[in-house]
Structure 1
């Protein structure tokens, strides 16, 4: 089988990225360019270089006396995470970053409305669906993650000399009834290879 040829059109430079969140079981987009269905919310502005999708499978190895190398390797776990730093402070973004929580209006001494955010208690974190959208010219990619949960600590720097961002860290959750994550794209480089047609055999 011949190897792939060099093709600089298959290099991806994410000129635009977006992160969308929604309650679990919200209808997912059917393709890579259709408008996001009702229920999906953009997190807004994010820092330029913080968006990452990580996939980290774990393996075990069997070793035998007859070989200096493993004689069998098998996968035991899979893990995927999203990392992105949010620049917009809002109630929904706080809930996403802290894994849930409650927002309520409180009585204030001045004429403006004031609000109170309370993070979730132990056992009160909620799962959310996520979508990472990547655009490179005419190519579009959507990483769809039906179930994720915020499972890391939150470290927010409140320095005078730079912006304060909200670190969103989501861990992909799995299940037997759905794919843990998948990508939809209109990139022609993803088209399945067409198997060669075998010539008819003579009787």
Structure 2
């Protein structure tokens, strides 16, 4: 019986990762290496060990008197999340981390020419969905995880300690629908080639 053969070229070490986001409906890249289309924004620098993608299907089991094991297992739900800690503080990254919100320019009370800005988080019911892409690069192999609809659905906890950088925790829940794939991967990795 044929099976996988030992092949160290199929080990992936994510030497470079990037996270991008855009409004839902923005054109996604057509392949794994083309430049990102207009409308996409990079989150910039992220901590080196924080990027995670989790897929969490849920199952139910049917038990029968004639077996000590389940006699049928069926999937009832699916869920997926993306986690990454952003090192760059910007208005756009604040909006991504908090699920929306507004940024306005305010006049400083002390006068002067320096501009000041006010970030206001979104009100209940006004969080916005985004499209997200996670890029993983290992030498000449490129992978783009595409999430057509995602939403920030967790609380935000920031450590503001004197002895380390303060990060912005981006936590996205993948959204689904009958008209779009919940997520997919585009790659130029030859190990994905269709076999006869």
Q: Is TM-score (shorter-chain normalized) higher than 0.5?
A: yes
Q: Secondary structure at the match of 2:191?
A: helix
Q: Which residue of 2 aligns with 1:183?
A: 185
Return the index of the structure with the highest Cα Rg.
1
Q: Which residue of 1 aligns with 2:67?
A: 67
Q: Which residue of 1 aligns with 2:92?
A: 92
The structure 1 segments of at least 4 consecutive aligned residues displaced by more than 6 Å after TM superposition are none
Unaligned runs of 5+ in 2: none
1:30 is aligned to 2:30: yes
Instruction: Give TM-score scaled by structure 1 length.
Output: 0.95
1:110 and 1:129 map into 2 onto residues whose CA distance is: 39
Instruction: Give TM-score scaled by structure 2 length.
Output: 0.98
Q: Displacement, 1:33?
A: 0.1
User: Could you tell which deviates more after superposition, 102-111 or 48-57?
Assistant: 102-111
Q: Displacement, 1:193?
A: 1.1
Q: Which residue of 2 aligns with 1:110?
A: 112
Aligned length: 194
1:161 and 1:13 map into 2 onto residues whose CA distance is: 30
Report 1:21-170 matches (<5 A). 21-108=21-108, 109-170=111-172
1:39 and 1:175 map into 2 onto residues whose CA distance is: 23
Q: Secondary structure at the match of 1:154?
A: coil
Aligned Cα root-mean-square deviation (Å): 0.5
Unaligned runs of 5+ in 1: 195-203
